[in-house]
Amino acid sequence: MDFIIPACSTKPYTLLHPEEIETPALLVFKDRVLHNMTTMKEQLKAVDDKLNLNMLCPHVKTHKSAWTLKQQMHAGIEYFKSSLNELDMLVKNGVKKSFVAYPLLPHSIKKITTYLETTPEIEIHIQVGHEKHLDYLEQIAPDHNWQIYIDLDVGMHRTGAEPQQALELWKRIKANGWSFLGLHGYDGHNHTGDETKKQKIAQDAMAALFHAVQLFESQGAHVENVVVGGSPGFLADLKLLLDQSPKFNIFLSPGTWIYHDSDSMETMDIPFNVAALILCQVIDRPNAYSLTLNLGHKRWSIDQGVPEHHSLAGGLIKSWSEEHTVMVFNEETKAKIGDYILIAPRHVCSTVNLWETFTLVDEQGHIEKKRINIDARNR
């Protein structure tokens, strides 16, 4: 069976024997995952032919899956970004270097310390953005050789320090004998499909980063690494940084690109394919112009809006509840009870977290594995 969703992929999504799958189900199409990694590599090399996937530090909160993590590792990605929720998955699957890009509280410091004591061959980098974060480190594990990024606020105003505050944090890091790795400047507020606006936001964010670097260098603090870039703005950030011939290493940390989603299609002019979609079925026909799906918002995330890309031409999602979704049409639809529909999530990261497992579909449309755990979900 072929499902056509033109905006999500240039070719149909082929699924053989969908009757073998209990619906609703989250499907991951293996060829689209591999396509997205190839596309990412091509995008980096188009900026500079010397660049490769090993400059990525992708956030794994999008997929939360050991299977997808291993595909990324096999492609040459060695450094991964996570919140605390995904750290178990990274450690258990042999990731040697990870960056917990989340403000740490006492319980999380104890958790990371335990990992480092029991698995000495791994590196877990952390971030601080406030003096209280350093207070906690000094109180709980002052003798550990922490490897620290300073989280810089480059315009999102969610976490992070201003440049002068960041410099004061560096002084305390140095005084404690800990390792200063560099600066983390996440621009998650750059979430627009307007290329002019996107460029302006990136310029402001990277200007703030360079201002901090210059301030640090003036005080004898060498910035060796920077970690920047959410999925919408990572290429703009990269080009701006390279234009300045930086003396630091650049790591890019987009996450959504590996699965992509319809929200990202609006904010990214890059030919990624949607790789994770929901298979559902028609369970009722209230009238000739509407149908009801066996799917509700317990299985697709509504935080970025209602899904609008699916395989049933002309259908518009009108209403939804926990277990039902109603789709309406301008003219009588021929869809029947039992028919299969494939829906692209609007926000894949939070949608994936609603599922315990996914079904892997291979390049020919065969079900390669019915249930693969989403290892780090619901944590």
Report whether pLDDT(183) > 80: yes
**Average pLDDT of 111-121?**
93
Calpha distance 216→237 (Å, rounded): 20
CB atoms within 10 A of CB 358: 24
User: What is the tens place of the pLDDT at every residue in 336-357?
Assistant: 999 999 999 999 999 999 999 9
Helix/strand/coil for 95: coil
Tell me what pLDDT residue 379 has.
Answer: 62
* Spatial distance between the Cα atoms of 71 and 33, rounded to a whole number of angstroms: 8
Within 13 Å of residue 283, how many CA atoms lie on the same side as its CB?
A: 13
Q: State the average pLDDT over residues 122-150.
A: 97
The band of 378, judged by pLDDT with boundaries at 50, 70 and 90, is confident
CATH superfamily of 2-29+271-373: D-serine dehydratase-like domain (2.40.37.20)
Query: What are 362-373's pLDDT values in tens digits?
Result: 999 999 999 999
Average of per-residue pLDDT across 229-243:
95
Segment 355-360 shows an average pLDDT of: 97
Omega into 24 within 30° of 0, i.e. cis? Answer: yes
What per-residue confidence (pLDDT) applies to 217?
95
Inform me whether the pLDDT recorded for 269 exceeds 70: yes
DSSP, res 258: G
Model confidence at 66: pLDDT above 80: yes
User: Is the pLDDT higher at 159 or at 304?
Assistant: 159
CATH fold, domain 31-267, is: TIM Barrel (3.20.20)
Mean pLDDT of the chain: 95
Q: Which of 144, 163, 145, 139 is nearest to 153 (CA)?
A: 163
Give the pairing type, strands 2-3 and 249-252: unpaired
For the chain, the domains span 2-29+271-373, 31-267
Strand partners, 278: 26, 343
What is the pTM for the complete model shown?
0.95
The encoded tokens of residue 260 equal: 């992509």
Across the strands, what pairs with 149? 127, 182
